[in-house]
Amino acid sequence: MRWSKTRMLTVIIITVLATALAVILGLNFVKPEKQIEKKVEHRYAVSDPQFRREMGVLLGPAILPHNTVKDLQNGSEIFPAMLEAIHGAKKTISFETYIYWEGEIGRKFAAALSERAQAGVQVHVTIDWAGSYSMEEKLLDQMKEAGVHVVRYRPLHWYNLSRMNNRTHRKLLIIDGRIGFTGGVGIGDPWEGHAQDKDHWRDMHFRVEGPVVAQFQAAFNDNWIKTTGEILNGAENFPAMESADGMDAHMFISSPNGGSESMHLMYLMTIAAAQRTIDLEAAYFIPDELITQALLAARKRGVRIRVIVPGENTDSDAARHASRMDWGPMLKAGIEISEYEPTMFHNKMLIVDTEITSVGSTNFDLRSFRLNDEASLNVYDTGFAQRMTQIFEEDLKHTKRYSYEMWENRPLKEKFIERVILPIRSQL
């Protein structure tokens, strides 16, 4: 049977459109242009002044003194502190988040932000489009009607399909340019409570004051400019700061559009500088080959490495399987990997030699290293590192150690799933 010209034309058009769509979607799997390809060698310790010099230059923002950083454990501490700060805002609020889900805590934040906007405070909010898929639209309307300047980051359109994989995963709240919050918490009811059961997640957030808060505001400006073309400056956003005793710290960002390797580089440099201990809490632990080599090299020179990851109570079975695929060599080398049992473990923290602590939105995986917009706070303070080591030790009490024998003898079903997931590993 011969095809008509109309039918042939229709088939050609459909084929061209399907091919174009496949190419566009395929671009989401393309790696960033700038990549680190060679191992970072162990040249100095974390305590060496050279380490700080290079971290302050290679990651971008300078390390600033005189900051105070307070850890907040779980939603029962985190949300009251954030809401109190919002209610106390006098001039400006800048808020960026990946997750904003429907529920009680979402309504509380919308109400607090709306009330401050109605009181004359300049309120600017960036919410990731993908991370807020279940957000109640009426909350967006409520905030906009109250005078909140709220935008969705990269909503899906035909012309940005090639970038739909690039999401803002940053968690930033800045009050009057003087108080900053960052960490792993999203605006969703699973973060409420104190990790008391499977429905309430384990997580941390941090309240920060001092000169480094200006870097928080600059980080917020990065995506605000991309989304609106507007820069938020002036004394109400970048006030003068008085010096006081405190910690050295800097906030740095990464994005596929610029500085995409910043987070990757930070981990590689810090692991390479470790001499005694590496304690890592990772909600998603999917290291690439360079990171794995760095961890194995650190272990070979005698560094004790402890890693806490989610156990069976996880929000991503796929990520868990992708993670376990490469545990064998690490476990055999003596790297201690433990699975958190009570609930979903969403912490993101790296402590090295009780000298440096890195916290923020960044996961220990390929998505955070290459695809997401991330923001991390590095704190260079022994006292703070000791405090966070205590938190690590407390979390460790609620874990089950995973052995090399367990990995070697894991069921064939798990090994099969790991292989199936391999092609999309970078997307998890």
Per CATH, is 28-427 categorized as 3.30.870.10? Answer: yes
Domain layout of the chain by residue ranges: 28-427
In this structure, the chain runs to a length of 428
Q: Using CA atoms, how far apart are residues 280 and 307, in angstroms rounded to an integer?
A: 5
pLDDT tens for the 428 residues of the chain, in order: 455 556 655 655 666 555 544 444 454 455 555 567 677 889 999 999 999 999 999 888 999 999 999 999 999 999 999 999 999 999 999 999 999 999 999 999 999 999 999 999 999 999 999 999 899 999 999 999 999 999 999 777 555 555 567 889 999 999 999 999 999 999 999 999 999 999 999 999 999 999 999 999 999 999 999 999 999 999 999 999 877 789 999 999 988 776 557 889 999 999 999 999 999 999 999 999 999 999 999 999 999 999 999 999 998 888 888 889 999 999 999 999 999 999 999 999 999 999 999 999 999 888 888 788 999 999 999 999 999 999 999 999 999 999 999 999 998 888 888 787 766 665 65
Contact 24, 16 (CB under 8 A): no
Nearest-Å Rg of the Cα atoms of the chain is 22
The CA distance from 141 to 159, in Å, is 26
What are the φ/ψ torsions at residue 100 (nearest 5 degrees)?
-145, 100
Instruction: Quote the pTM value.
Output: 0.90
CB 278 within 8 A of CB 298: yes
Residue 63 backbone zone (phi > 0: left; psi -120 to 50: alpha; other: beta): beta
CA dist 73 and 86 (Å) reads 19
Task: Dig out the tokens for 208 from the structure.
Answer: 């920060």
Tokens of 29: 């799997």
